[in-house]
Amino acid sequence: MKRRQLLLGAAALALAPAAPAACTVWPDWERFRDRFIDARGRVIDPSDSALHTTSEGQSYGLCFALVANDRPAFERLLRWTEDNLAGGDLTGRLPAWRWGRKDDGGWGVLDANAASDADLWIVFALAEAARLWAEPKYAALARLLGDRILNEETAAAPGLGQVLLPGPRGFTPQPGSVRLNPSYLPLQLLRRMAVLYPDAAWKTLYRSSLEVTVRAAPAGFAPDWIVYRAQGGFQADAQTAGAGSYNAIRVYLWAGMLAPEEPARAVLLRTLAPMARAVAASGVPPEQVQTRTGRMEGGGPAGFSAALLPFLTASGQAKAAQQQRLRVAAKAPLERTDNYYEQVLTLFGLGWAEGRFRFARDGSLQPNWKCAGR
């Protein structure tokens, strides 16, 4: 009986909501930094022989460094991004989205197209670093990159207005149609841009991004990609057959991390409620969902469980959130060295669950190191 009581007590402790993290180090960030970021500031994805780096990885690294108050790492990440993805000048061009080992054995840009989600996260990280660290040069660079996003990575979609394309090239397959990625549209970042910068286009992008996210998920499940046509509306993307998986998991993550006062939060939680109920019922997030039918396939990695923690909590599914947190603890994805993407999902999800950061109503970042008087 005594042993059973001890076990029950340990389980209750594991399931208890985490207290806000202390204003000290972030051990999970330090492990990620030491395993996936080289001395120059390159985030390395070891998933293929190219040992590639993406602008996405650099952008997430910048945000995590800011959350951790790790300014030296932030500076290295920014410098490497500028030198290697932007030809040495982030004031003059958007960063290339993919860099790595080429077929001839040399190293360099593998695909010069940009990725708008990474660009948006870089602008956000720079703007918030300027505010939190009182560094004007970051603010100027953020404004220039933000203007470039508006000029190069948006398009007018009849019936929707101006939308954020996934990149400058390749996402307007036919006149009057656009191929979009809902996970590229974190509303807290677009809200922040609309607050910081006077260009009305940011407010338009916020509204169109909310509409895209909602209308792309008519059955309550976010797709990886969606096609919008002026004549026909939203249609399943032919290349991915309407599936929701490794891209779409971020839609739930971004929605769950919205501030409670953000009006879009209730809209998204209501729209995506079927996913919350499905995970609560099954105990394991699906690796893939057929978004038009809700049919689930396979069990997702532990990083998916971590990514769903804010969403399940915000959805009132406390027991399901606790179950996913235990799954993360049992599978320990942060102990591995071969899973860059699962690591970043886990850092976002666990970092939020541990109270290391929040997004305010105006989209601003609220890292908990502010409690140390910063």
Residue in 28, 45, 70, 117 annotated catalytic:
117
Task: Say whether 275 sits in a helix, a strand or coil.
Answer: helix
Phi-psi group of 108: left, alpha or beta (phi > 0 → left; psi -120 to 50 → alpha; rest → beta): left
Are the C-beta atoms of 66 and 129 separated by less than 8 Å? yes
Active site annotation includes 237: no
3-state helix, strand, coil in the chain (%, to 5): 50, 15, 35
Widest CA span in the chain: 71
Show Cβ contacts of residue 92 under 8 Å, excluding neighbours closer than 6 positions: 86
CB-based contacts of 278, cutoff 8 Å, min separation 6: 286, 294, 296
Q: Closest Cα partner for 259 from 182, 365, 348, 349?
A: 365
| Rounded Cα gap, residues 158 and 62, in angstroms | 35
Catalytic-residue membership of 117: yes
Quote the DSSP letter at residue 230.
T
Q: Where are the alpha helices (DSSP H) in the chain?
A: 2-15, 27-36, 55-67, 71-80, 116-132, 136-152, 187-196, 200-215, 249-256, 263-271, 273-282, 302-307, 309-314, 318-331, 340-353
The one catalytic residue in 56, 211, 262, 354 is 56
Closest among 374, 363, 373, 371 to 63, alpha carbons compared = 363
CA dist list (Å): 166 to 60, 179, 221, 302 = 17, 8, 20, 26
Q: Is 95 exposed, middle or buried (0-12, 13-18, 19+ CB in 10 A)?
A: buried
Return all residues near 183 (Cβ < 8 A) that are at least 6 apart.
117, 222, 224, 247, 248, 249, 250, 251, 254
- Which residues does the annotation mark as catalytic? 56, 117
